[in-house]
Amino acid sequence: MINILKKRIITCLDIKDGRVVKGINFLDLVDAGDPVVSARRYNEMGADELVFLDITATKEKRKTLIGLVQKVAKEVFIPLTVGGGIKSISEMNQILRAGADKISVNSAAVKNPALVSEGARTFGSQCIVGAVDAALQKNNKKGWDVYINGGSKKTALTLVKWVKELEELGAGEILLTSMNRDGTKEGFDIDMLKAVTNAVNIPVIASGGAGSIEDFIDVFTMTDVDAALAASIFHFGEVDMGELKQRLAKNNIPVRIQESSDCNE
């Protein structure tokens, strides 16, 4: 029997000063709750994975909050990805020992691409997530520029070329955030996601723009992404996880339903 891979729904905790925050286009951050309480709730509501991003660690030139990662990890029984300020194999090891299942690298990967390949060799590609923040090129708008430092610094990299390099370096999947759509609830950036999924053979996680159940249906039917990530619509109760998955299933999109006893999942 063919085992069809399920599409994943991922919730995200953007962390600043030990609290969950959310903004629009990476700006105007507002408080969205306690990360430990939020993690517990998402685990219970049936999220497939949880992403923990210490969004100011790189700009503040400090390490990820290990203690908070440990507290969050104790609350979840789903895969936990952690990112923010991780710049060495030693720090990756500390995060994994704290309870993370995967490490997300963004700015550090741009500054030191060898970190991706070394991490993949040390821990396995499945543990290394290449996180990419990208925005439309301002001049011709025919492509996307890559940004680092929490979206505050534009690099010389172009999106498609960079994701291909991340795959070659050994990243196991790509977490792609559209800065233009982040927090806008206008829907995922379909054009950007098509460009990236056509360029790489590793799983791609869509991030930025989710505002409704229809947006998830669109991203899974119009692109080849393996997962879709959202934050504010779950933080503020605008979309119910159970209803979302039921609607996806009714649209012939394979997802894990919490009540299911399917042994092939």
Q: Mind telling me the catalytic residues? A: 14, 133
CA distances from 105 to 40, 96, 225, 248, 264 (A): 24, 13, 19, 30, 31
Residue whose structure tokens are 């789903």: 78
Coil, strand, or helix at residue 164?
A: helix
Residue 165 CA to residue 178 CA, distance in Å, equals 19
Residue 210 CA to residue 183 CA, distance in Å, equals 8
Answer for the pair 32, 20: CB distance below 8 angstroms, yes or no: yes
Answer for the pair 53, 13: CB distance below 8 angstroms, yes or no: yes
* Structural tokens at position 259: 């009540």
Q: Where are the beta strands (DSSP E) in 17-160?
A: 19-24, 27-33, 49-54, 80-83, 102-105, 128-136, 144-148, 153-158
Residue 188 CA to residue 165 CA, distance in Å, equals 23
Q: Is 118 exposed, middle or buried (0-12, 13-18, 19+ CB in 10 A)?
A: middle
